[in-house]
Amino acid sequence: MSLYEEIINRKAKISLIGLGYVGMPIAVSFAEKVDVIGFDVNSEKIGLYKKGIDPTNEVGNEIVKKSTVYFTDNEEDIKKAKFHIVAVPTPINQNKTPDLTPIEGASEVIGRNLTKGSIVVYESTVYPGATEDVCIPILEKESGLKCGVDFKIGYSPERINPGDKVHTLENIIKVVAGMDDESLEEIAKVYEIVIKAGVHRVSSIKVAEATKVVENSQRDINIAFMNELAMVFNRMNIETNEVVEAMNTKWNALKFSPGLVGGHCIGVDPYYFISEAEKLGYHSQIITAGRKINDDMGAFVADAIIKELVLANKIVKQAKVAILGLTFKENCPDTRNTKVIDIITRLKEYGITPVVTDAYADPNEAKKEYGIELIELDQIKDIDCLVVAVSHDKYQELTFEKFEKMFIQQKNEEKVFIDIKSIFDPVTVKNKGYSYWSL
């Protein structure tokens, strides 16, 4: 009986290592069909899942409550599974080089609890070659088993889009790779249990690893191009959003728009490619240039805010600025690698400490990670400038009556409205008496 058949007949279990924005949806989806063990080293997170609380907001509390996933922070429970999926984060170091610490730690945990006949599949973003060069030696050392003989490995890049309720796990084609033909078919069949869109088999683990890095590097470059246009159009006094709308009337327009590029994928993955390319003696030009542009956008936006305050006759050091949104993207509580923090840091250089609110972010995480005390939306009063930094649906629903209550209520005081993602109509905003700026 194949491992796939064992899993289908509930004679073998699947384990998920890492229950964050990627791992949790995978665990819950598989649990509807087969037996699943969900492991995470974060005991607090496991405690919340056991109570039916979803801190990621990816699947929702009700689904977590009903799920049959066996949540645990006891690594020995992993021994009960034979198909292991690793979905831990792969961040970068301060010097922009890959930080493989989480994936190395996950490999050690699995290795200590690996049994013969198992398959380990990595979903975490890595540079081509990392799974075989870094992870296999750790698995072999910790388990005492031989890869290719006692266990096998594979790779399937995660494609989950946090906060997206349309392009979900089941509806996205899954790229899969195995160390040989047998493991490839086993891995593909297991994923086909839940992936309605189907799987795409590739010839090697390196190809699958490269696929993920390339996907996000491509998006990063396209957004960088739009950001560069936005910076130039700002000097030309042209509304970038209007140009983009006109461009998108052409059938082959790519429909990208300028914005802050953060998070744990697009803002990180290109550095994995750049770092590995440099090891091979090649200095990436286009990808590196795109990264530099996108990394500098927070400072550019902050400088634009200062300029607008000056034009509105505000005393910069005394100006009160409020920022709506801290997460790295809309409708998602994830604040990892958010570029809003770059705006805040730059404003502080000008003597401005903005007040910050967010409809989704965890106040404890904001305080722990960035030292920011999030306030409630209703607490924003007497401001000179409002910065809509993240296009949460809840912010798009706000009325100008609500905005008006946030600003200082003094006659002839100009109100500065910064709409980074251009979610409000500039003509409407200006007609309401605001000084308006957007990317």
Q: Are residues 291 and 303 in the same domain?
A: no
Q: Is the pLDDT of residue 264 over 90?
A: no
Residue with tokens 């992936």: 195
pLDDT value at position 411?
Answer: 75
Q: Tokens representing 203?
A: 């010839």
Looking at 276, 295, 314, which one is the last position of a domain? 295
Q: How many CB atoms sit inside 10 A of residue 86's CB?
A: 24
Report the alpha-carbon distance of residue 70 to residue 39 in Å, rounded.
8
Most distant CA pair in the chain: distance in Å?
Answer: 80
Q: Into how many domains does the chain fold?
A: 3
Closest CA to 88 of 100, 79, 97, 80: 100
CA contacts within 13 A on the Cβ side of 164: 12
Distance CA 386, CA 83 (A): 50
d(CA 336, CA 381) in angstroms, rounded, equals: 28
d(CA 78, CA 23): 15
The first and second tokens of residue 395, run together, are 């912010």
In terms of Cβ atoms closer than 10 Å to its own Cβ (0-12, 13-18, 19+), residue 437 is buried
Per-residue pLDDT at 127: 92
pLDDT number for residue 262: 87
| CA–CA dist 392, 397 (Å, integer) | 9
In a shared domain, residues 17 and 122: yes
Question: Is the C-alpha dihedral spanning 396, 400, 405, 406 positive or negative?
Answer: positive
**Of the residues 147, 265, 332, 385, which is catalytic?**
265
Q: What does the pLDDT look like over 153-169, one tens digit per residue?
A: 999 999 877 766 767 88
What are the φ and ψ backbone dihedral angles of 292, each rounded to 5 degrees? -65, -45
How many whole angstroms separate alpha carbon 102 and alpha carbon 225? 32
Pairing of the two strands 199-201 and 70-72: unpaired
Domain finish residue from 203, 231, 247: 203
Dihedral angle over CA of 293, 295, 299, 300, nearest 10: 20
pLDDT over 80 (residue 358): yes
DSSP code for 133: I
Question: Closest Cα to residue 164, out of 26, 32, 59?
Answer: 59
Domain range enclosing 88? 3-203
Residue 265 annotated to the active site: yes
CATH number at residue 36: 3.40.50.720
How far is 281 from 298, CA to CA, in rounded Å?
31
216 and 193 in a single domain? The answer is no
Examine the domain organization and report whether 137 and 164 are in the same domain.
Answer: yes
Let me know if 126 is exposed, middle or buried by CB neighbors in 10 A (0-12, 13-18, 19+): buried
Co-location of 117 and 182 in the same domain: yes
Alpha carbon distance 380, 38 (integer Å): 40
Q: Among residues 148, 179, 203, which one ends one of the domains?
A: 203
- Whole-number CA gyration radius for the chain: 24
Same domain, 65 and 89: yes
Whole-number Cα distances in Å, 300 to 242, 306, 426: 20, 10, 20
Q: Are 291 and 305 members of one domain?
A: no
pLDDT at 397: 94
- Residue 376 neighbours by CB distance under 10 Å: 8
Asked whether residue 279 carries a pLDDT value surpassing 80, the answer given is yes
Residue 123 CA to residue 264 CA, distance in Å, equals: 13
DSSP annotation of 1: -
Edge-first strand listing for the sheet containing 385-388: 355-357, 321-324, 385-388, 415-419, 434-438
Return the percent helix, strand and coil in the chain, to nearest 5: 45, 15, 40
State whether 318 and 406 are in the same domain.
yes
* Res. 363: pLDDT tops 90: yes
CATH number of the domain that residue 214 is part of: 1.10.1040.10
* Calpha distance 392→423 (Å, rounded): 10
Confidence (pLDDT) at 38: 97
Token readout for 366 is: 């904001």
**What would the mean pLDDT of 390-394 be, rounded to a whole number?**
95
pLDDT tens digits, residue range 102-157?
999 999 999 999 999 999 999 999 999 999 999 999 999 999 999 999 999 999 99
Token pair belonging to 66: 């009903």
Q: What is the pLDDT of residue 169?
A: 84
Q: Are 397 and 424 in contact (CB under 8 A)?
A: no
Amino acid letter for position 347: L
Are residues 339 and 375 located together in one domain of the fold? yes
Does residue 62 sit in the same domain as residue 129? yes
Q: Supply the pLDDT for residue 35.
A: 98
- Looking at the fold, whether 422 and 342 belong to one and the same domain comes out as yes
**Residue in the block written with tokens 């309401």:** 432
User: How wide is the angle at C-alpha 368 spanned by C-alphas 340 and 75, nearest 5°?
Assistant: 115
| Same domain as 88, residue 224 | no
Average pLDDT rounded to a whole number, residues 355-375: 95
Range in 10-14, 54-58, 144-148 with the lowest mean pLDDT: 54-58
Single pTM value for the model: 0.91
Mean pLDDT of the chain: 94
CA dist 10 and 1 (Å) reads 12
